[in-house]
A and B are shown apart, each in its own frame.
Chain A
Amino acid sequence: MQQSEIIVVGGGLVGAAIAYGAARAGAAVTLLDQGDIAHRASRGNFGLVWVQSKGAGFPRYARWSRDAVAYWPELAKELLDLTGVDVALENAGGFWIGFSDAEVQARGAMLAKISDAIGGVPYEMLDHRELKARLPAIGPKVAGGSFCPLDGHANPLKLLHALHAGLMARGSRIVSSVDIATVARRGDRREFEAISTDGRRWRAARIVLAAGLSNRELAPQVGLHAPVSPNRGQVLITERLKPFLPYPTNKARQTHEGTVQLGSSVEDVGLDDGTTVPAIESLARRAIATFPVLSSARLVRAWGALRVMTPDGAPIYQESSSHPGAFVATSHSGVSLAAAHAYALGPWMAGFAKEPEDFAEFAGERYLDPARSFSNAH
């Protein structure tokens, strides 16, 4: 049995960012990571740091996304100084690409609605000619697009590495290959215990469930509701190419090293994280329709990964009312929201800061309201 002030169950981007923020605020943190049997959403994602279109119909989530990217440069610099890992943040803006006028008009209406709802999210709508001036590589089938200057991208694997290295630098304990099956309050004491499938135990006054798809089973054990389900995204990786794409787009980004990542499918296939020929073909066709120059690029990898999806696509953040000190955090935007998870959630969940304002809106019970219906746009 090992004791600390706060246990974080889940060592992916969400858990590691919260744990890092808690450690930074001064907590003694134990991070429990499931290891190689985990679904590993944080190792298969796309790497966008994205604001535009987030939070349609959910203004608190739109505001949270906008605030989160504002914190990002500070997090990137802090991690570089502390760990020497450059997470390759580029935040000069990003483009969404549309293939029909109707699609572009609907996009404009949605972005206007989000911006009005939270007092301003900067964006521009661009027709083909205007977009071509900014992204010369677009092809003739592109109808137009939108640009948001707050958007960007980063290297998600380096971010995960930097957060883990930062935790170690701040004296936190990271335990790998721990499959937590049980979380419980010990008697009526304000102390929680996490028990692994092989019988190991960890105790702390506070516990954060950031276990991705496992949150569905873990959350009810401490009075929380986190009905997450898997949603597969397949992506393609090209060989390294000389720079041709100066900004990330919603379906393609060129990394610092020159590879182009092409995404991503949206599939409801349970826990199957494999790849399929039809999805790869569809992604490649769309990529070439967007940027015809990619027709001569060679693909070197494809993979599938499982998004941790909530019914409305927005995060769940909540402290248990029946088990105070137990928290749930779940989101499929572990990169975009990383800095907010570190700087706002970490101190709150570790007990150094109040719950951020209007956070009741992120409670998992919203899915139990029979008067509401949900769509996650994925």
Chain B
Amino acid sequence: MHTETADRQAALFASEEAIGPNTVRIQFEDRTLCVREGTTVAAALLLNGAGPLRTTPVKSTPRAPYCMMGVCFECLVSVDGKPSRQACLTTVRDGMVIKRQHGASALDLSDEGDRHGL
């Protein structure tokens, strides 16, 4: 499991460019991160030493971004309350709220289909 220490571990990755004036603020768990505009959620989190982003549904194994091109599905996170978003295919936006995803995503069981014309 993730600890506060793991959250703040040194980043394995570094950006070649210093963060310039075009930055946005995103919320990751209890941290506010200042990241470069236009980058992906996965890149932004890796550069900030986020550590594992999710645990697997069956065996609760920790996982982190791997392929960075939308294939491996290891980087699933919750974005603005929506589960199972691929962090490597999601571009950061100012005010975005990102949370780790533990296990399988849950469906909203209060959904009675009203929104879908059912």
Question: Chain A residues in contact with chain B, CB under 8 A?
Answer: 136-137, 139-141, 239-242, 244, 257-258, 288-289, 292-298, 300
Distance of A43 from chain B, by nearest CB (Å): 21
Decide if the interface of chain B is mainly helix, strand, loop or mixed: loop
Which residues of chain B from 74 to 100 have any CB-CB distance to chain A below 8 Å in the complex? Answer: 82, 84
Does B113 touch A at the CB level, under 8 Å?
yes
Q: Assuming A292-B111, A298-B84, is B106 touching A258 (CB within 8 A)? A: no
* Residues from chain B with Cβ under 8 Å of A292 in the complex: 111-113, 116, 118
Q: Assuming A258-B57, A288-B118, A292-B118, is B113 touching A139 (CB within 8 A)? A: yes
Q: Assuming A239-B84, A292-B118, is B109 touching A140 (CB within 8 A)? A: no
Report the interface size for chain B: residues with CB under 8 A from the other chain.
Answer: 18
Please, could you name 15 A-B residue pairs with CB atoms under 8 Å apart, sorted by A?
Answer: A136-B109, A137-B109, A239-B84, A240-B58, A240-B104, A241-B106, A242-B104, A242-B107, A289-B118, A292-B113, A292-B118, A293-B109, A295-B116, A296-B111, A298-B84
B112 pairs with A140, CB closer than 8 A? yes
CA distance A101 to B109 in the complex (A): 26
Does B108 touch A at the CB level, under 8 Å?
yes
Distance of B107 from chain A, by nearest CB (Å): 4
CA distance A244 to B108 in the complex (A): 10
Chain B residue with the shortest CB-CB distance to A241:
B104
Question: Chain B residues in contact with chain A, CB under 8 A?
Answer: 57-58, 73, 82, 84, 103-109, 111-113, 115-116, 118
From B58, B82, B118, give the contact of A139 (CB < 8 A): B118
* Residues from chain A with Cβ under 8 Å of B113 in the complex: 139-141, 288-289, 292, 295
Decide if the interface of chain A is mainly helix, strand, loop or mixed: loop
CA distance A238 to B53 in the complex (A): 21
Distance of B67 from chain A, by nearest CB (Å): 15
Distance of A86 from chain B, by nearest CB (Å): 13
CA distance A14 to B111 in the complex (A): 41
Q: Assuming A257-B58, A258-B58, A258-B104, is B109 touching A244 (CB within 8 A)? A: yes
